[in-house]
């Protein structure tokens, strides 16, 4: 199952687990596979990227993605979801309603950031909102003892952040844009800066010192990086 991850431009992180850094915005998609199911965390910035991710995931695993987890409702992480027909889609509490009423804003943001208008319009026209909302924590069973724990992180980088813990060893924590490695963390109009450092404390509680932390943008990092980014955000926003 894992023989050709690198051939598709994916970074293998463990048995049945790997991630792809997508071009242009360097957004990450994480794939976690068990014998009975496969979870993809984030779906890219357009339907075109979503189709590419689906095609590669099916080639790697020999079967379909069954579950989608959306880390937060920004265009570069959610606009490819419609490519995964039949998958269960998870988001934090409130994301479904936000995406249903916020399609115009997603389109405008995507175009402003450089996505071609035709790609943005086509992706928004088929936008898929989560059909399963996470309140607190929810465990997804992928079979054979492989589980993923979806954790509603509340508002921090966005108004609706979700993290995913894949128990190890080593444990993996998919952070979304709560953690960024390839640039300074971005705080848009929906960010809640006062809550952001506490969200990173929660990530560290979930994963522990030995975990691999998969950021929304950039290279995989360790607990020390997350802790340093937490302190930098606290200083930047004047919170403890």
User: Which pLDDT score, from 0 to 100, does residue 67 have?
Assistant: 98
Cβ proximity of 167 and 176 under 8 Å: no
d(CA 136, CA 124): 28
Task: Reduce the DSSP state of residue 172 to 3 states and report it.
Answer: strand
Confidence of residue 146 (pLDDT cuts 50, 70, 90): very high
Proportion of the chain above pLDDT 70, given as a percent: 99
**pLDDT score of 1 more than 80:** no
What is the predicted pLDDT for the residue at 101? 93
Q: Which residues contact 181 (CB under 8 A, 6 or more apart)?
A: 215, 217, 218, 219, 220, 221, 225
**Exposed, middle or buried: residue 195 (CB in 10 Å: 0-12, 13-18, 19+)?**
middle
Phi, psi of 209 (to 5 degrees): -70, -30
């Amino acid at each position: 199952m894992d023989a050709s991850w690198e051939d598709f431009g994916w970074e293998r992180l463990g048995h049945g687990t790997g991630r792809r850094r997508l071009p242009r915005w360097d957004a990450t998609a994480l794939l976690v596979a068990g014998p009975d199911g496969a979870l993809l965390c984030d779906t890219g910035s357009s339907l075109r990227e979503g189709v590419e991710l689906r095609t590669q995931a099916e080639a790697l695993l020999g079967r379909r993605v069954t579950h989608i987890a959306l880390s937060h409702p920004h265009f570069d992480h959610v606009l490819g979801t419609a490519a995964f027909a039949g998958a269960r889609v998870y988001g934090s509490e409130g994301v479904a309603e936000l995406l249903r009423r916020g399609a115009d804003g997603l389109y405008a943001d995507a175009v402003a950031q450089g996505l071609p208008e035709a790609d943005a319009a086509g992706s928004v026209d088929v936008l898929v909102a989560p059909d399963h909302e996470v309140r607190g924590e929810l465990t997804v069973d992928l079979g054979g003892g492989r589980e993923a724990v979806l954790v509603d992180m509340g508002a921090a980088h966005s108004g609706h952040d979700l993290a995913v813990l894949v128990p190890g060893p080593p444990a993996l924590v998919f952070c979304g844009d709560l953690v960024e490695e390839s640039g300074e963390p971005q705080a848009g109009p929906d960010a809640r800066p006062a809550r952001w450092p506490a969200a990173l404390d929660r990530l560290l509680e979930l994963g522990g010192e030995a975990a691999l932390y998969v950021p929304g943008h950039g290279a995989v990092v360790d607990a020390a990086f997350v802790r340093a980014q937490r302190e930098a955000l606290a200083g930047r926003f004047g919170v403890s």
